[in-house]
Chains A and B, each alone.
Chain A
Amino acid sequence: NAGVTQTPKFQVLKTGQSMTLQCAQDMNHEYMSWYRQDPGMGLRLIHYSVGAGITDQGEVPNGYNVSRSTTEDFPLRLLSAAPSQTSVYFCASSYRVLGEQYFGPGTRLTVT
């Protein structure tokens, strides 16, 4: 199993550009989530999904969209990038909705 994969690993965007961060898992996990990690702030939940076709907002959803058309994939879309979205983004999945999470390697995003 590849586990949780994320692409790209690094990305630089200009303010106002849009992009999609990809996340995929091959463990047949129900639950998937997106976090951002900023210095001194730990992990903050952006969006999460409890199964295909079901998504919900986390603590910091503004400026991001998600969809979950398949069990395996959970892309995160930045609609119009802002410097405040400069961060490291982690995707995670778990077998059960409330189980321990498996994290991807992260995407380091810089918005200039």
Chain B
Amino acid sequence: ILNVEQSPQSLHVQEGDSTNFTCSFPSSNFYALHWYRWETAKSPEALFVMTLNGDEKKKGRISATLNTKEGYSYLYIKGSQPEDSATYLCASINTNAGKSTFGDGTTLTVKP
């Protein structure tokens, strides 16, 4: 993996469904992986900062895991609500780059 890739590109679920999506990133020279939530007409806001292999972070119904050896992170949303509708971005930071590289995001739509 040379770039940061997110899948799927978009997701439509019903209220109450649980869902998950993937961020793949270069595993060499890994420093950190950030998840952001980006609501329509707003700015991205940081959800999680993940640095260690095996990290698991949780905020309410949203959680994330990190595998730095194979270069992927999963974001899970349990019992999706309409207010979870947003684009979820991940950004990979490598020690030799000194800057964040963003994926294109997964756009989640939760139907009531």
Cross-chain contact A50 with B49 (CB below 8 angstroms)? no
Query: By the criterion of a CB under 8 Å from any partner CB, how many residues of chain B are at the interface?
Result: 21
Q: Would you call the interface of chain B mostly helix, strand, loop, or mixed?
A: strand
User: Which residue of chain B has the shortest Cβ distance to A58 in the bound complex?
Assistant: B99
A109 contacts B by Cβ under 8 Å: no
Of A20-28, A63-71, A95-103, the one contacting chain B is: A95-103
Q: A100's contact among B31, B46, B101, by CB below 8 Å, is which?
A: B46
Give bound CA distance, A97 to B97, whole Å: 11
Q: B100's contact among A41, A45, A102, A104, by CB below 8 Å, is which?
A: A45
Give bound CA distance, A103 to B34, whole Å: 14
Give bound CA distance, A86 to B38, whole Å: 20
A74 contacts B by Cβ under 8 Å: no
| Chain A: minimal CB distance from B44 (Å) | 5
Listed in ascending order, the chain B residues whose CB lies under 8 Å from chain A are 31-32, 34, 36, 42-46, 49, 89, 91, 93, 98-105
Ordered by A's residue number, 18 sampled pairs between the chains whose C-beta atoms are within 8 Å are A33-B99, A33-B100, A35-B102, A43-B102, A44-B102, A45-B102, A56-B99, A97-B98, A98-B32, A98-B98, A99-B49, A100-B36, A100-B46, A101-B34, A101-B44, A101-B46, A101-B100, A103-B45
